[in-house]
Amino acid sequence: MPIGQLLKTDPEYRLVGMKRGGLFRRREVFVHIKDGKLVGMAEVSYGLFGERGSSSGPAHFPSRTEAHDYFTGLGVSEQTYRNVIEPAIPLRSL
């Protein structure tokens, strides 16, 4: 099963954003929130030659502004960021 389809059917991951990048390219962003904390992220890129996926563990951002810029740059809407992601982001102490 392709990684994008697997993430869409996994109840622990939630599709939070999609960004189109050209004629045949798009990127989907998934987050894994458990017990109110962001514990992982996954990104799937689709192009002419199929799809590529990448994932990472919990992200640590030094400020809410940096976290906001990161997620909105990936194609996450302002409303989804404020309601779903922002409350779950662990902030690294400076």
Q: What is the pTM of this model?
A: 0.79
> What are the boundaries of each domain within the chain?
3-88
Please give the average per-residue pLDDT across 1-27, as a whole number.
Answer: 85
- The 10s digit of each residue's pLDDT in 26-66 is 889 999 988 888 888 888 998 888 888 887 776 677 888 88
Helices (H), the chain: 3-9, 64-73, 78-80
Per DSSP bridges, beta strands 13-20 and 37-47 are unpaired
Per 3-state DSSP, what percentage of the chain is helix, strand, and coil (rounded to 5)? Answer: 30, 40, 30
Token representation of residue 84: 């779903």
